[in-house]
Structure 1
Amino acid sequence: MPVLCPPSNWDLELLARQRVVPALRTHGFCPVDGLLGAAAGGAVLEQVQEMHRAGMLQEGRLASPAAGLNRRNARGDRIVWVSGSELGAEAVGFLLGLIDRLVSVCARSLGEGTIRERSKAMVACYPGNGAGYLKHVDNHNSDGRRITCIYYLNKDWDATEHGGVLRIFPEGKPYVADIKPVFDRLLLFWSDKRNPHEVQPSYADRYAITVWYFDSEERAEAKRRFRALTESMEQSSSSSSSSSS
């Protein structure tokens, strides 16, 4: 694996202040090209492809499937969750560390001081069989997700031939934004209802790595609601069992 050299903190500060923060404030999303460079980005791609070859990627699930909605019609990707600390995921871990630093700088500038944690990385492949993901919102029920970051790994991607465009429908805007999943591109956008989006059908293997950054207060409240719901269901089940005995 090549030696991976991260940009300096000054570079990340400049990127955040001049590009990412203004774009998030104005449009709600921001693509950044050439994040890692050919060598480091290629190392990430090699590791993701090896995960795919090894059979590690499994069908993604729908968080809240609508009644009568077929999973395969709604979401066609195959995924695996990684922390970046696993053997064979060192380059992925390097990428995550860089995104962590960038988002931290952006959060301070945006006044989002409660962004202090993130998910594991979702490594995904849409197989080239027309697989896509219907229009949805990442955080539709106040689950704590605040910023979505997607890193794309697709060399020589031709959207006319290969499809796979991420289309964003920014809330209140008179336009849509089509983001091509090209190699070494990072996309950042607000995870809530401000950015409904879809993955259009892909006709070549389409690789991406996604992480979500959480608002710690909203995340804690979501966990409290989940615990309360779980306890209520357990009590209800216990009461039903007692009544029937």
Structure 2
Amino acid sequence: MRNVVVENAAKAVSGLADGATVMVGGFGGAGLPRALIKAVLETGVRGLTVISNNAGADADDLSLWFEEKIVKKIICSYPRSAAVFGEQYRAGTVELELVPQGTLIERIRCGGAGIGGFYTPVGVGTVFADGKPRMEIDGKEYILELPLKADFAMLKGRIADTVGNVVYNKTARNYSPVMATAANTVIVEVDDIVEPGSLDPESIVTPCIFVDRIFKSEPRK
């Protein structure tokens, strides 16, 4: 039986290279892989494309990546609260692809499921529709949205077993289960690691087939 436990966050992010696309789970401050966010800074990588719900809002989230200017583009739904990102966006040093929240999660789901895209009415008649293929279905206009995939997904779980089955904590589950299906390398930092068979199978949200590395992070005070 395989064991996907690695020693720490630094080991977990090994292989991350310049120009990589990285999905970061969580919703607001809930479920952010904060140890992984900090570990990425230690690698010295640059030019990342980030797929996340937001662009950071406090001192130990994605704002750190923007402060160090390692992000060239972010694909997200809610960048408004991120002061550092806002300054760089207005200066033209970072690119933003703004995506409605439901559309964002569905694009990620399509990436994980191997689906070539989907038609949605969301954004029709707005700037979101600019340059996108359109189709009329039952008299209603739709626009084509393409899937999103990543080189790495960095997620936060509540508990996992050593083979990589993951349980999340309430709102911290947002985005993470879908992102786990859409990346080449999936890393999960967790509060606790247990032996296989210890988890209730009905509680497992992300099964081990999607997880490549897990490590135990220090509880956040």
TM-score, normalised by the number of residues in structure 1: 0.22
**Which structure has the bigger radius of gyration?**
1
User: If each structure's helix is expressed as a fraction of its own residues, which one has the higher value?
Assistant: 1
TM-score, normalised by the number of residues in structure 2: 0.23
